[in-house]
Amino acid sequence: MPVFRGQCHCGAVQFEIHNQEALEGPRRCDCSLCQKKGVVMGTAGIADLIITRGEDKLSLYQWNTGTARHYFCSVCGIYTHHQRRVAPDEFGFNLACIEDVDPALFASAPMTDGRALSLVEEAEARKP
């Protein structure tokens, strides 16, 4: 039985999270993509997040190293989840997509330093 259910805005993409602790430790990220998304994320193991509808409606966006895999609904454009770069065995997911969860409750979620990951790669690329 799922612990949490979520969906994009239009409902084309639906998912379940089978992890009781998935809403604990919400976070934001200051990388260039997350800054523009402005999202507060929860975390679940790869096996704990199951797409139940609309897997064919997911658009994949990868950038920088291509390690992180960011998924968006191709119909309404809402970011639903991503495979994390720093922990590829985990998904980050959009808390605003979870049923009966008010994302305003997580307004003070701590910021992770995603910006530093890009800065390290830029410095490495400039090395002779």
Find residue 42's DSSP bridge partners: 93
Q: What is the extent of the structural domain holding 106?
A: 2-117
Percent of the chain with pLDDT over 70: 81
Quote the pTM value.
0.81
| 117 has pLDDT over 60 | no
More confident residue, 32 or 42: 42
pLDDT at 114: 57
Q: Quick check: is 127 in a domain?
A: no
Q: Quick check: is 50 in a domain?
A: yes
pLDDT digits (tens, 9 = 90+) for 74-90: 999 999 999 998 889 99
Q: How many CA atoms lie within 13 A of 15 on its CB side?
A: 33
Strands, E, within the chain: which ranges?
4-7, 14-17, 28-29, 41-45, 49-53, 58-61, 69-73, 79-83, 90-94, 111-112
CB-based contact 73:9 (threshold 8 Å): yes
Query: How many domains would you assign to the chain?
Result: 1
**CATH code, domain with 36:** 2.170.150.70
- Burial code (b: 16+ CB inside 10 Å, e: under 16) for 87-101 equals eeebbbbbbbbbeeb
| 128 has pLDDT over 70 | no
